[in-house]
Structure 1
Amino acid sequence: MPDSYRAIEHLRDGRPIEIRALLPDDEDDMLAAIGRTSTEALRRRFFVAKRGFPQKEIDFFMRIDFRNHVALIALADEDGRPTIVGGGRYIVVEPGSAEVAFMVMDGYQGQGIGSHLMRHLAGIARDAGLTELIAEVLPENTAMRKVFSKFGFQPAPSREPQVIHLVMQLI
């Protein structure tokens, strides 16, 4: 998967967004986006209320090889500057299977960014020969559950009772 991946999509209100590969130069912008995100949105993504990230975790999130770890960001124009407003990634957890996760900044939720990111990640995963995507989602995260449902994710047995485990077959 080349790091030159780019596509233009539109939000539900018609504004354009760019979906592209996360690049090493995006670290400061990614941290700024997380800094603008509510504690509740961070909890829905990471399952704990987080504000700061240790450097080791930041390095992991930024170390994308586009084979076993693929990350895309959504950028919108804010005051004439492209700004990260969402992101999605998958990480291969076993041969043929990858776990997918998303985060959309508060002011952009409900605009279709999660669906755009999901569609692009699913296409990349299929092209890479993966056979399934899995997701772990909190029961109260109805918006993300709706996105996953739209793409055909089905409930599967969960290791943790407070988390819903979903699986989407890619073949």
Structure 2
Amino acid sequence: MSQVATYSVKTVLKDGTSIQIRALRGSDEADMLAAIARTGPQSLQSRFFILKRHFSEKERTFFMDVDFSNHVALAALVEEQGRDTVIGGGRYVIVEPGRAEMAFMVVDAWQGRGVGSLLLRHLTDIAREQGVRELTAEVLSDNRPMRSVFAKAGFKLARSDDPTTVHLSLSLGSAPPD
């Protein structure tokens, strides 16, 4: 099992709230679906580029069947009413050797508090350690909050043929020697 598959850190949001960032587990599916249910239509459209509430079995399998090599996913959790609750998630998927595409989603009530930035930072560190040389993301042009998160992390605007989306890219440098 990959060391990334057991990744788990406790950290603190900028408002002092304790948060756990950890590897997504197969047992998280119900909690992930509950997080989506607590996410508004605008946020879901920003993440999936269409209004999405329900996922096919194939889609759920893709989102939950993470190998922590070519597909790495982290969940953000906080304690609410005595139990850990998923409030967001982020992932990257290798699209070609050395290059991965990232995506994030944060429950509406937790947006603007630094959850996405923390997920991005942890995923970037993991990607770098795993030899990924470039991270990319597609973001809706009008999704200014997410564009800001990526910009603060050093992502640069790349060419986009679609006026409704922007392509962002971050170079992580060369791959470490074997």
Q: TM-score, normalised by structure 1?
A: 0.98
Distance 1:76 1:164 in 2: 31
Counterpart Cα distance in 1 of 2:136 and 2:162: 14
Q: Which amino acid aligns with 2:7?
A: Y
Q: How does 1:57-96 map to 2 (within 5 A)?
A: 57-96=59-98
Task: Indicate if the aligned counterparts of 2:103 and 2:137 stay in contact, CA closer than 8 A.
Answer: yes
**CA displacement at 1:12 relative to structure 2:** 1.9
* CA offsets 1:62-86 (integer angstroms, 9 cap, x no match): 0100000000000011111100001
Q: Give the match for residue 120 of structure 1.
A: 122
Aligned to 2:153: 151
Quote the offset at 1:161 in angstroms: 2.3
Q: For each residue in 1:6-44, what CA deviation from the matched residue of structure 2 results, as whole angstroms up to 9, or x when unmatched?
A: 011112210100000000010111111111110111000
Given residue 130 of structure 1, which amino acid in structure 2 is its aligned partner? V
Aligned letter for 1:83? T
Letter of the aligned partner of 2:98 in structure 1?
Answer: G
Report how many residues are paired: 171
Alpha-carbon displacement from aligned partner over 1:80-131 (angstroms, at most 9, x marks no partner): 1100001000000011000001000000001101110011000000001010
CA contact (8 A) 2:106 2:116 kept: yes
2:21 and 2:66 map into 1 onto residues whose CA distance is 16
1:26 to 25, 28, 35: 28
Question: Please, which runs of 5 or more residues in structure 2 have no aligned partner?
Answer: 174-178
Give me the identity figure in percent: 54
| Counterparts of 1:96 and 1:154, CA distance in 2 | 18
Unaligned runs of 5+ in 1: none
The equivalent residue for 2:144 is: 142
Tell me how far 1:159 sits from its aligned partner. Answer: 3.5
Secondary structure of residue in 2 paired with 1:51: coil
Matched-pair contact (CA < 8 Å) for 2:141–2:163: no
Q: Hey, what's the Cα distance between the residues in 2 that align with 1:159 and 1:119?
A: 28
Cα RMSD (Å): 0.8
